[in-house]
Chain A
């Protein structure tokens, strides 16, 4: 548990630190978003490979097998860190004379995404605390009139605590990234509406993986918990004639509800992660074209600033 706990806390933070360090190192010669995009691909591939290898190394017993759920917030952290890296790699203002608008930049988050974030945060917290408090290691044990029914695969503290800490780290990283998106300098060569669109898309690129990871983590806690409750109930009935039976057994219904919740959450997580922000800017041009123009302007800024 302690190793996975440390890794779950350290991994998102490490990704964030790498992102910040790379952006700081590369800023003097970075051409902006192109290099940031290359780095993002590289960091994503490497960290995903490390995460998968880590996950495979855990598949030895029930406890470690269940801890694979921790990988969900870790992988989402990579996606969020890549957005932060992109934002930090934009060319900063140079030269002695600098202008800025006093117009307040709105950072609208779609209401559906806002709901997904809130629901994901609440559900993963409630499920982690609830499962942790009722599990016996990775077992769910049900007692009735001296008889006992137990099932493996229940997410106890050894699973829920690292998951909770991973999700918390992801939330902090997403919050910091949102601040980077807000503070990113306006490109003076871009239409203000297009600049706002680029900012909105960046915000969604950071928040969608966060919401999806929270929902998926909640699903991966609810599903095994529901299944283990059902299995423990069946075993209890096999050893005791007096054990509660359907339809009046609320514990079994709770198990069914958790499995149902798992399915709903999986669908919600996939929907949230698959939905893409609109890729057309406010002026009608594709955002890729707007980014290309921003990149060209960023290059020009570097070129003109270089001889000084």
Chain B
């Protein structure tokens, strides 16, 4: 059973469905959500976040299109088998990086830009 939490910031430039999608995808990739684990229903998550049902439904649809979750008739939406691909260590490193960025007062956009630049540099070096 998961204690995973997601947070949506309505004042952010990123649309709420994308925030849900990226956070759930991240939790799956790092193994915080295990294969076969059931996600809350669209209505329940929409109610908890105070969002429209369609917003959460779109996030779930996109996660399904990415092969990260699947919808089953009896059990609802569950994490797809083999969806977790990244090593848990990467998740921990990402969490540490995010904590460091927040502690140094860096904005989310700036932190992502920095990571993206580092990623491209790493790809160029391969």
Query: What are the 5 closest A-B residue pairs judged by CB atoms, nearest first?
Result: A93-B50, A100-B48, A183-B47, A96-B11, A183-B43
B43 touches A101 (CB 8 A): no
Is there a chain A Cβ closer than 8 Å to B14's Cβ? no
B8 touches A101 (CB 8 A): no
Is there a chain B Cβ closer than 8 Å to A25's Cβ? no
Known: A94-B50, A183-B47. A99 touches B38 (CB 8 A): no
Knowing that A97-B11, A101-B4 are A-B contacts, what are 19 other residue pairs whose CB atoms are under 8 Å apart, sorted by A's residue number? Answer: A96-B10, A96-B11, A98-B7, A98-B49, A98-B50, A98-B51, A100-B6, A101-B48, A102-B5, A102-B27, A102-B39, A103-B4, A103-B40, A104-B39, A179-B43, A182-B43, A183-B43, A184-B47, A185-B48
Q: In the complex, how many angstroms separate the beta carbon of B99 from the nearest chain A beta carbon?
A: 17
Binary contact track A180-210/B, C-beta < 8 Å → 1, others 0: 0011111000000000000000000000000
A94: chain B residues within 8 A (beta carbon) = 50
A103 touches B2 (CB 8 A): yes
* Least CB separation from A184: chain B residue: B47
B46 touches A97 (CB 8 A): no
Q: What is the number of residues of chain B that contact chain A, defined by CB distance less than 8 Å?
A: 28
Q: In the complex, how many angstroms separate the beta carbon of A54 from the nearest chain B beta carbon?
A: 35
Known: A98-B8, A99-B7, A102-B6. A185 touches B47 (CB 8 A): yes
21 contacts between A and B (CB under 8 A): A93-B48, A96-B9, A96-B11, A97-B8, A97-B11, A98-B7, A98-B48, A99-B6, A99-B7, A102-B27, A102-B33, A102-B39, A103-B2, A103-B4, A104-B44, A105-B40, A182-B41, A182-B43, A183-B43, A183-B47, A185-B48
Residues of A within 8 A of B (CB): 92-94, 96-105, 179, 182-186
* Least CB separation from B39: chain A residue: A102
